[in-house]
Chain A
Amino acid sequence: MAFNLVYKRFGACSILVEWPAVIEEEILKDIMIFKTAIEKNNIKTIVELKHAYNSLLISYSSFLESFKNESDRLKNLYKSLNFKNDTVSVLWRIPVCYDAVFGIDLETISVEKKLSKDMIIKRHSESIYTVYFIGFLPGFLYLGGLDESLYMARKTTPRLQIEKGAVAIGGNQTGVYPMSSPGGWHVIGNSPIAFFNPKLKSPCFAKAEDRIVFEPISLKEYHNIKVLVEAGVFQLKSEVFHG
């Protein structure tokens, strides 16, 4: 599937390519195929490629003398692509403790949505989420696939500090805070695993198009896993995902 793309100059050294303004897996696939093709094309002056839900930012090492020449080159490359789907992704099983110790906003959601806490946890942990991209904070995964009954407008006043590992819901999104940060999302649990490790060659285990499921664990299991994570010996469960 090929889309009508919009090319915009962004600052002195970058081109922003935009897909239709919707969050869809078809678009994510399309972006990733184009991104991979640009990487393989090995254009020496490109220093950074960064994609989001419906956009790809291409940054060059110096001032873009001719936006037209460069965007024409990219348009031709896009036209030449073969959009068959042969991606293999990984499904990661992320342990999450939804105990009241961590799930500090479960009560609020429960009242607002007229759903029991157990039902919220069930619906949150039964979905398979798609990783769209990593942004906002080092290791923060933008996930698609939250159950509609759990959509919850962001808090009007953000918390000054959300704990590392907090699993939260904001609008139609859910995610895990890889480090402590201010934030306006509703916190429903905490994951003991590390989402970002700057010392590793691949600092994030997950990548765009991978899948995530959240597996409920008890407080006791949480502390056990935490110890293993801190000792650097915890093995995250994963499997190859076709679909």
Chain B
Amino acid sequence: MVKVLAPGLYSSIQDLGRIGFQKYGVPYSGAMDVYSAALANHILGNNENDAVIEMTMTGAKLQFNSQTCVCISGAAMSPRINNNTIKHNKNIKINVGDVLSFGKLSKGFRCYLAVSGGFKTEEVMGSRSMYLGVTDQFKLYKNDTLLINENNSYTGIKNASVKVNNRYFTTKEIDVFKGPEFEFLSENEQAFLFKKEFTISKDNNRMAYQLSEPLENSLKPIITSAVLPGTVQLTPSGKLIILMRDCQTTGGYPRVLQLKESAINILAQKFTGGLINFKL
């Protein structure tokens, strides 16, 4: 069992999301940066879909009441066990009573904590990803207790670690496909999308990232149709909205671009003021 001593700014349980329920209007959800979440699971020998804690901007403070192993991936938030600094992307042994805490954010935006066997919180519609209205809880609160595998003997390979290319956190390049309505833009508007450097506005969360620079356009709304995480919507007023993991299932704005999966993960590690370039 793991006790939440402090939840951090916004921490939630996430796995790879809720697949097969779009027909009921249920968002996919899941880890914003799937790459980092899966990496942490892999290092522990977990299944890729095991539930992890996603921490946004500031880390949580957690007390472990059983022996286990953990792995931390994604944003660098100065993790410590009982005040001893620990490394990222490593299989780390945890003893009964250990306290895991985080400090200063130095790189990225979202940090992932995997635990041996995954967190065993409420499963709804084939997923433990928290989402308001589907799961009872949508984020972690102080004094929450999270179930984990209690009888875990330490089996990790001590020196196993991976080297993550830092470019992943610093690159501005966001790889995209053309969206279903891309061809409706004029040549100038299309060119603008790839020439311009865009800024991530303060309106950014698990649902969507809005960009600051407008794209003047004459596109009309479409008849409501499917959208996906990574869909870039263009509003009549010229706002570009990049939908993220908790996005709605359908939308009525023209879909001008579609981010590649790797680009969604890269964007998930950026925050307000971050700069991006779309690349076809």
| Of B21-29, B77-85, B160-168, B265-273, the one touching chain A | B21-29
A2 at the interface (CB under 8 A from B): no
A57-B226, A137-B248 in contact; A9/B177 too (CB < 8 A)? yes
Q: Chain B: interface secondary structure?
A: loop
A179-B133, A198-B134 in contact; A12/B249 too (CB < 8 A)? no
Chain B interface bracket (under 10, 10 to 19, 20 to 34, 35 or more): 35 or more
Report chain B residues within 8 Å CB of A54.
223, 225
Q: What are 20 A-B interface contacts by the 8 Å CB criterion?
A: A10-B177, A10-B179, A12-B261, A47-B20, A49-B23, A52-B224, A53-B225, A57-B225, A59-B228, A134-B23, A134-B25, A135-B224, A135-B248, A135-B249, A136-B25, A137-B248, A138-B134, A196-B25, A198-B26, A199-B124
B118 at the interface (CB under 8 A from A): no
Q: Is the CB of A11 within 8 A of B258?
A: yes
A50-B22, A136-B250, A198-B124 in contact; A10/B223 too (CB < 8 A)? no
Give A11 to B225 CA distance when docked, in angstroms: 15
A155 at the interface (CB under 8 A from B): no
Chain A residue at minimal CB-CB distance from B182: A8
A90 at the interface (CB under 8 A from B): no
Chain A residue at minimal CB-CB distance from B226: A57
Q: Is the CB of A48 within 8 A of B224?
A: no
Report chain B residues within 8 Å CB of A198.
26, 124-125, 133-135
Q: Is the CB of A133 within 8 A of B26?
A: no
Give A54 to B261 CA distance when docked, in angstroms: 26
Q: Is the CB of B250 within 8 A of A8?
A: no
For residues 10 through 25 of chain A, which have their beta carbon under 8 Å from a beta carbon of chain B?
Answer: 10-12, 14, 16, 18, 21-23
B16 to chain A, nearest CB (A): 12
A139 at the interface (CB under 8 A from B): yes
B19 at the interface (CB under 8 A from A): yes
Report chain B residues within 8 Å CB of A14.
228
Interface residues of B (CB under 8 A from A): 19-27, 124-125, 132-135, 177, 179-180, 222-226, 228, 230-231, 248-251, 255, 258-261
Give A229 to B16 CA distance when docked, in angstroms: 33
B276 to chain A, nearest CB (A): 18
Report chain B residues within 8 Å CB of A8.
180
A48-B19, A50-B249, A53-B223 in contact; A137/B228 too (CB < 8 A)? no
Give A67 to B90 CA distance when docked, in angstroms: 40
B97 to chain A, nearest CB (A): 36
Report chain B residues within 8 Å CB of A204.
24-25
Chain A residue at minimal CB-CB distance from B260: A12
B48 to chain A, nearest CB (A): 13
Q: Is the CB of A139 within 8 A of B25?
A: yes
Q: Is the CB of B223 within 8 A of A21?
A: yes
A50 to chain B, nearest CB (A): 4
Taking a contact as CB atoms closer than 8 A, the residue among A12, A50, A57 that contacts B177 in the complex is A12
A102 at the interface (CB under 8 A from B): no
A11-B177, A23-B223, A53-B225 in contact; A138/B20 too (CB < 8 A)? no
B125 to chain A, nearest CB (A): 6
Give A241 to B173 CA distance when docked, in angstroms: 53
Report chain B residues within 8 Å CB of A158.
none
A224 to chain B, nearest CB (A): 25
Q: Is the CB of B19 within 8 A of A138?
A: no
Give A178 to B26 CA distance when docked, in angstroms: 12
A11-B228, A12-B177 in contact; A137/B133 too (CB < 8 A)? yes
Q: Is the CB of A11 within 8 A of B224?
A: no
A140 at the interface (CB under 8 A from B): yes
Chain B residue at minimal CB-CB distance from A208: B23
Q: Is the CB of B180 within 8 A of A10?
A: yes
Q: Is the CB of A53 within 8 A of B224?
A: yes
A23 to chain B, nearest CB (A): 6
Q: Is the CB of B224 within 8 A of A142?
A: yes
A23-B223, A48-B20, A48-B22 in contact; A10/B250 too (CB < 8 A)? no
B132 to chain A, nearest CB (A): 8
